[in-house]
Amino acid sequence: MKTEPVISVSALDLYYGEFQALKQVPMEVKGRHITALIGPSGCGKSTLLRALNRMNDLIAGVRVSGSILLEGRDIYAPGTDVCLLRKRVGMVFQRPNPFPLSIYDNVAFGLRVAGMRDGNAVEEIVERSLKAAWLWDQLKDKLGQSALELPLDQQQRLCVARLLAVEPEVILMDEPCSALDPIATARIEELMLDLKAKYTIVIVTHNMQQAARISDYSGYMLLGEMIEFGATAGIFTSPKDKRTQDYVSGRYG
Ligand SMILES: Nc1ncnc2c1ncn2[C@@H]1O[C@H](COP(=O)(O)OP(=O)(O)OP(=O)(O)O)[C@@H](O)[C@H]1O
Ligand SMILES: [Mg+2]
């Protein structure tokens, strides 16, 4: 059985200019499992998530040291193909961000960017991706409609379908349900549980019940540090650190 983590973070420091947002952070992300990052606002959850596919590179003044290995190779090594990295490690954001294009063109986007010209192949992948994101039945007869006209939860699942089309290995989700109502949230959670059969998922969530419901591993962060990381059941029922205990029992702040 393969036990190597898909992503292995060690001693990660990240600075926004003078401000140190991540301090010697360790994390091991296990393949085909869901890992949740929890902790109070401003503790560095999104920063850590964005570091995993170098999305922080887009912010001026960011400096990173330490290492993040993806399948054993350092993603910050010189010569890393960042576009390929972001395809392998895709991201879903807090607010659904479909492109102002048709439903079909949203899902086909990455394939076309990658130069896929075979219309039948594109069509097949669009269908497969929409099915995997549980959208095909609702949307198959209106693929030409603008994605922006869809309800928010379908927009969010369309963003998932857009990622799936380019076959990522890891899916990063930064509070993917925070703009959604409870029913839509439940649907995204079920979708995540379904997707973990094939993909590795890292989710940031403010909602501790959500982390407890869906994740296999959890990391509790505070002021840029990874206070405790481990199996979710342990983090929530028998945390080792007093600070984790205070947070998961709702005593924080
Ligand atoms: N682009 C940026 N420039 C400067 N500082 C930033 C930037 N982004 C985040 N920070 C700071 O880094 C720290 C960590 O922010 P981050 O957004 O990662 O926290 P978070 O845990 O995701 O918070 P939230 O739960 O509110 O989303 C905060 O102090 C924040 O102010
Ligand atoms: Mg955040």
Q: What are the residue ranges spanned by the domains of the chain?
A: 7-97+167-248
DSSP, res 120: H
Work out the pLDDT band at 2, boundaries 50, 70, 90: low
155 touches ligand 1 (CB under 6 Å): no
Block residue for tokens 């807090």: 94
Cα(149) to ligand 1 centroid in Å equals 31
pLDDT at position 251 is: 73
In the predicted model, what is the mean pLDDT of the chain?
95
pLDDT at 3 over 90: no
Bridge partners, residue 69, by sequence: 8, 74
Assigned superfamily of 7-97+167-248: P-loop containing nucleotide triphosphate hydrolases (3.40.50.300)
45 touches ligand 1 (CB under 6 Å): yes
Nearest listed ligand to the Cα of residue 50: 1
62 close to 221: Cβ distance less than 8 angstroms: no
**Which H or E run includes 128?**
helix 119-132
Cα(34) to ligand 1 centroid in Å equals 23
- What is the distance between the alpha carbons of residues 32 and 36, in angstroms, rounded to a whole number? 13
Q: In terms of Cα–Cα distance, which of 210, 226, 207, 229 is closest to 218? A: 229
**Token representation of residue 135:** 């959208």
For the CA of 47, the nearest atom of ligand 1: 18
**CB-based burial of residue 245 (10 Å sphere; 0-12 exposed, 13-18 middle, 19+ buried)?**
middle
β 200-204/19-29 pair status? unpaired
61 close to 83: Cβ distance less than 8 angstroms: no
pLDDT in tens, 59-94: 999 999 999 999 999 999 999 999 999 999 999 999
What is the pTM (predicted TM-score) of this model? 0.96
For the CA of 40, the nearest atom of ligand 1: 25
22 touches ligand 1 (CB under 6 Å): no
41 touches ligand 1 (CB under 6 Å): yes
pLDDT at 252 over 80: no
Cα(46) to ligand 1 centroid in Å equals 7
Nearest listed ligand to the Cα of residue 38: 1
**Token representation of residue 251:** 């005593």
pLDDT at 195 over 80: yes
pLDDT at position 1 is: 56
Q: Where are the alpha helices (DSSP H) in the chain?
A: 45-51, 82-88, 103-113, 119-132, 136-139, 152-165, 182-195, 208-214, 232-237, 242-248
19 touches ligand 1 (CB under 6 Å): yes
CA-proximal residue: ligand 1, atom 2 (nearest): 16
